[in-house]
A = this chain, B = another copy of it.
């Protein structure tokens, strides 16, 4: 079966190529009569426009790239979900690029991806959203970009962020409100801007409440389950251990829960543990985790919407959008014992 092209349709409908193109692209200046005639030809011939040809002629690929850290987790799937929702609605396709942000040759590798794909635009997630070199490369290439969860404020590049510092503050306010003042904090990976933000909410809340900030109560994790275990072991063997541990993501919190249980410490009776992200695992473990729900999917939806506007050369309402986090209280937190 031969491929039907625009020429076949033009012949069949008795009009010019350009008119077919007009109907295809929903341009004005086509009488509804001709339009109907052409559409009839479409179905009769089973015409399907060739995306490559359109891409070449219009220099649009309808491909959007998504760059994210290759270490897979629930963040990634939520980002994908959101981006796909908009892409689908707008007729775009999503091409995924998980990359190791510590990879030395990241830039050159990504550049070769760029060369072989002609993406219409790119969505950058942490920590890529803050990588200067990458942003420069994309700018030089004049590829539209939207950043998700970026920390650094670059007024030239649109971004969607969440209020991590505030949410972290809110979590600590909550812990203090139920009587905790020996509150420990586990930091995330240093390369992620969120790490600093989440810590700042913690210190702010404690300071405000007049609770001294103790070095030994602030542990360095890296967002992994294992690092949560390590930090928990250190914290729980302190002479004066915390009554509550706030881990800056759920995987680390899960690690704490595990270590606590192994030590026979009952959660939340003896120890309150809270996380951040509302990862699926936060519901699967027992007790389920009190955590912060990050609106990741929503952020990706908004970022993709913005990106497509840029691609279409429509003006952006604002350069930066903030979507708010939400505290979710579940089973892993309880009032401090008096």
Contact = CB atoms under 8 A, between A and B. Distances in A.
Contacts of A50: 56, 118
Interface in A247-273: 251, 254-255, 257-258, 261-262
* Residue from A52, A73, A257 whose CB has the most chain B CB atoms within 10 Å: A52
Contact of A284 (B49, B62, B225): B225
A222 to B, nearest CB: 16
B96 A96 contact: yes
Interface string A39-60: 0000000001111110110010
A92 to B, nearest CB: 9
Interface stretch (A76-84, A121-129, A235-243): A76-84
Given A56-B56, A284-B251, A117 B77 contact: no
Contact of A52 (B61, B261, B280, B285): B61
A103 interface: no
A204 interface: no
| Count of chain copies | 2
A286 B285 contact: yes
A337 to B, nearest CB: 21
A191 B283 CA distance: 25
Interface in A96-145: 96, 98, 113, 115-118
Given A116-B91, A225-B284, A81 B52 contact: no
B96 A80 contact: yes
A42 to B, nearest CB: 12
A267 to B, nearest CB: 10
A117 B98 contact: no
A63 interface: yes
A32 B42 CA distance: 50
Contacts of A63: 63, 93, 95
Nearest to A284: B254
- In the complex, which of the residues A59, A73, A96, A261 has the most CB atoms of chain B within 10 Å of its own CB atom? A96
A94 B96 contact: yes
A257 B285 CA distance: 9
Given A115-B48, A117-B51, A72 B61 contact: no
Given A51-B117, A116-B62, A94 B95 contact: yes
12 contacts: A50-B56, A50-B118, A51-B115, A52-B55, A52-B56, A63-B93, A93-B117, A94-B96, A95-B96, A281-B284, A284-B284, A284-B285
The 8 closest A-B pairs by CB, nearest first: A72-B77, A52-B55, A254-B284, A52-B56, A258-B286, A51-B118, A281-B284, A56-B56
Given A49-B115, A281-B281, A285-B286, 5 more contacts: A52-B56, A93-B117, A254-B284, A255-B284, A257-B286
